[in-house]
């Protein structure tokens, strides 16, 4: 993690006003949370729902060496080391950007509407077979999370895998310019954030901002099945960049040859080379494409085929992404409760419907949020995907999700669907019908907290 004197930190953060007697103090690491600050940290008081400036003294008491301070914020303390900045968030980003430039590392930046966390985990697993790797923890992919992740990089690290998230235009560009990735990945373009961005075209433009931060000589690995990305790539004239496409169609640079899916994982070959079979301990055909994007990254890092196969076979995925859990009561839970969009729900249902060997299959879906004026139609479309021969029961949670139930009932018939607005009643209903050798898929937007259902039924 970053270790610099306060004098150097002030320069890197584009700050001023540090008292001379504090210039040689050494900071080690950065924190924005006074509750978890560690000895030697620099504290950065971000203004969010709570104003971090109100917790500066607490951070110092817990071991922080110094703090940034917004110049426009009143009553700065005069008895602790302070660096004054125009904006503490911007200063955090400047500090991370400057630190990145000082490191001899290769950075892989990953974005996309769905699959970016899983792809990050895959790239990390493969790269770790050959390099010392640092990656984004959990879902710290935001305007705050990414700079903090960069500032945790050790100077001995060789590869850094960064996830980049967004909610509006300009955010990916800002993150990419901080990180300056050597390799960038766009997994796919879906419907997440369409309520704020307005169209899939604008979503594609927002995700493609990652190109603006690519280093000269960098590589963009993108989903070539997406016409919107094809159009963007064809219009890019930036010198010294290379483009590699992946997808289902054989018009891509990389595509699956033969593949098969079982309840315990996937096997696939690449292009026309059927001598190498990759094994993935995950379910869902969509994960093959995440894996192919990861293989493309690995090849750019000159990782051997043996280590690529090893990395994929031994992957550990961040929780709540098609996570398969076995209950002590004998049933199986597929926990896909991290988030939800029409694209990801469709992929989850398709995967779930193809699973076999179970007594009963129960589908539990919460509201899909932030879908804009077409939100009702998107929910109805999900209900129409249900195959009555492959799913026994559909439970939904939330007002919008009731539209899934109403459409599914037309296919399944009465008595096989039910909508809930009380999560406790949903949990009780599930617990009353689950038996050994049943399987249940649980998914919903983050705001519905469907992971609470998983916790209560296991």
Average pLDDT over residues 307-329: 93
> Does residue 236 carry a pLDDT above 80?
no
The pLDDT score that the predictor gives to residue 19 is 95
Residue 49, pLDDT above cutoff 70? yes
Question: For the domain that residue 353 is a member of, what is the CATH number?
Answer: 3.90.190.20
In the chain, the percentage of residues whose pLDDT exceeds 90 is: 88
* 298 and 439 assigned to the same domain: no
Mean pLDDT of 423-428: 97
Domain that holds residue 167: 103-313
Does residue 93 fall inside a structural domain?
Answer: no
**End position of a domain, from candidates 45, 61, 86:** 86
Look at the alpha carbons of 428, 429, 430, 432 in this order and tell me if their dihedral is positive or negative: positive
Instruction: Judge if 335 and 379 occupy the same domain.
Output: yes
Same domain, 337 and 233: no
How does pLDDT run across 353-372, given as a tens digit for each residue? 999 999 999 999 999 999 99
> Does a structural domain hold residue 94?
no
CATH number assigned to the domain comprising residue 12: 3.40.1390.10
42 and 135 together in one domain: no
Task: Give the chain's domain count.
Answer: 3
CA torsion sign for 184, 188, 194, 199 is positive
Whether the per-residue pLDDT at 162 is higher than 80: the answer is yes
Confidence band (pLDDT; 50, 70, 90) for 238?
low
Residue 91 lies in a domain: no
Q: Is the pLDDT of residue 234 over 80?
A: yes
Evaluate if residue 338 carries a pLDDT over 80. Answer: yes
Residue 307 has pLDDT above 90, yes or no: yes
Same domain? 307 vs 173 = yes
Is residue 78 in a domain?
yes
264 has pLDDT over 90: no
Write down the pLDDT at residue 237.
Answer: 62
If you average pLDDT over residues 201-215, what whole number do you get? 95
pLDDT of residue 192: 86
* 140-152 average pLDDT score: 94
- 401 and 296 within one domain: no
The three-state (H, E, C) secondary structure of the chain, written as one string = CCEEEHHHHHHHCCCECCCHHHCCCEEECEECCCCCCCCCCEECCCECCCEHHHHHHHHHHCCCCEEEEECCCCCCCCCCCEEEECCHHHHHHHHHHHHHHCCCCEEEEEECCCCHHHHHHHHHHHHCCCCCEEECCCCCCCCCHHHHHHHCCCCCCCEEEEECCCCCCCHHHHHHHHHCCCEEEECCCCCCCHHHHCCHHHHHHHHHHHHHHCCCCCEEEEECCCHHHHHHHHHCCCCCCEEEEECCCCCCCECEEEEEEECCEEEEEECCEEEEEEEECCCCCHHHHHHHHHHHHHHHCCCCHHHHHHHHHCCCCCCCCCEEEECCCCCEEEEECCCCCHHHHHHHHHHHHHCCCCCCEEEEEECCCCCHHHHHHHHHHHHCCCCCCCCCEEEEECCCCHHHHHHHHHHHCCCCEEEECCHHHHHHHHHHHCCCCCEEEEECCHHHCCHHHHHHHC
Judge whether residue 76 has pLDDT over 80. yes
Is pLDDT at 256 greater than 90 in this prediction? yes
Task: Give the model confidence (pLDDT) of 31-47 as tens digits.
Answer: 999 999 999 999 999 99
Q: Is the pLDDT of residue 422 over 70?
A: yes
Would you say residue 318 lies in a domain? no
**Which of the four pLDDT bands, split at 50, 70 and 90, describes residue 110?**
very high
Looking at the fold, whether 65 and 110 belong to one and the same domain comes out as: no
Model pLDDT, residue 261 = 85
- Mean per-residue pLDDT for 390-417? 96
One domain for residues 150 and 130: yes
Give the 3-state secondary structure of 2-45: CEEEHHHHHHHCCCECCCHHHCCCEEECEECCCCCCCCCCEECC
Check whether 179 has a pLDDT greater than 80: yes
Residues 284 and 135 in one domain: yes
Residue 137 confidence (pLDDT)? 87
365 and 303 in a common domain: no
Q: What is the mean pLDDT of residues 105-123?
A: 96
Rounded Cα–Cα distance for residues 104 and 13 (Å)? 20
């Amino acid at each position: 993690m970053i270790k610099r004197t306060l004098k150097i930190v002030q320069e890197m953060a584009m700050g001023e006003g540090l008292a001379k007697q504090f210039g040689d103090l050494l900071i080690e690491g950065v924190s924005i949370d006074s509750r978890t600050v560690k000895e030697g940290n620099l504290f950065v008081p971000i203004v969010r729902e709570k104003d971090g400036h109100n917790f500066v003294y607490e951070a110092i008491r817990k071991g922080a060496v110094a703090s940034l301070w917004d110049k426009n914020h009143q009553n700065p303390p005069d008895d602790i080391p302070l660096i004054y900045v125009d904006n503490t968030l911007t200063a955090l980003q400047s500090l991370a950007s400057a630190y990145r430039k000082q490191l001899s590392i290769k950075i892989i930046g990953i974005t996309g509407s769905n699959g970016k966390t899983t792809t990050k985990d895959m790239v990390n697993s493969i790269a770790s077979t050959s390099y010392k790797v640092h990656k984004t923890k959990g879902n710290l992919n935001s305007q705050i999370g990414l700079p903090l992740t960069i500032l945790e990089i050790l100077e001995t690290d060789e590869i850094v895998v960064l996830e980049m998230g967004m909610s509006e235009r300009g955010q990916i560009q800002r993150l990419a310019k901080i990180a300056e990735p050597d390799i960038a990945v766009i997994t796919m373009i879906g419907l997440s954030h369409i309520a704020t961005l307005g169209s899939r075209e604008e979503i594609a433009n927002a995700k493609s901002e990652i190109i603006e931060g690519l280093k000269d000589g960098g590589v963009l690995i993108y989903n070539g099945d997406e016409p919107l990305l094809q159009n963007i790539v064809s219009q890019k004239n930036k010198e010294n960049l290379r483009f590699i496409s992946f997808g289902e169609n054989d018009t891509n640079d990389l595509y699956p040859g033969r593949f098969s899916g079982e309840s315990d994982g996937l096997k696939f070959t690449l292009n026309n080379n059927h001598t190498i079979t990759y094994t993935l301990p995950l379910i869902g055909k969509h994960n093959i494409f995440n894996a192919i994007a990861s293989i493309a990254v690995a090849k750019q890092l000159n990782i051997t085929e043996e280590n690529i196969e090893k990395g994929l076979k031994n992957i550990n995925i961040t929780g709540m992404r098609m996570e398969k859990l076995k209950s002590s009561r004998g049933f199986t839970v597929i926990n896909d409760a991290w988030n939800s969009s029409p694209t990801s729900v469709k992929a989850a249902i398709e995967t779930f419907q193809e699973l076999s060997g179970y007594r009963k299959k129960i589908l539990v879906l919460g509201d899909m949020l932030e879908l804009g004026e077409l939100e009702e139609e998107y929910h109805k479309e999900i209900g129409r995907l249900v195959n009555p021969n492959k799913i026994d029961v559909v439970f939904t949670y939330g007002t919008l999700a009731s539209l899934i139930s109403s459409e599914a009932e037309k296919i399944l018939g009465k008595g096989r669907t039910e909508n809930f607005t009380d999560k406790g009643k949903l949990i009780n209903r599930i617990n009353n019908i689950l038996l050994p050798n049943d399987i249940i898929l649980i998914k919903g937007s983050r705001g519905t907290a469907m992971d609470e259902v998983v916790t209560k039924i296991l």
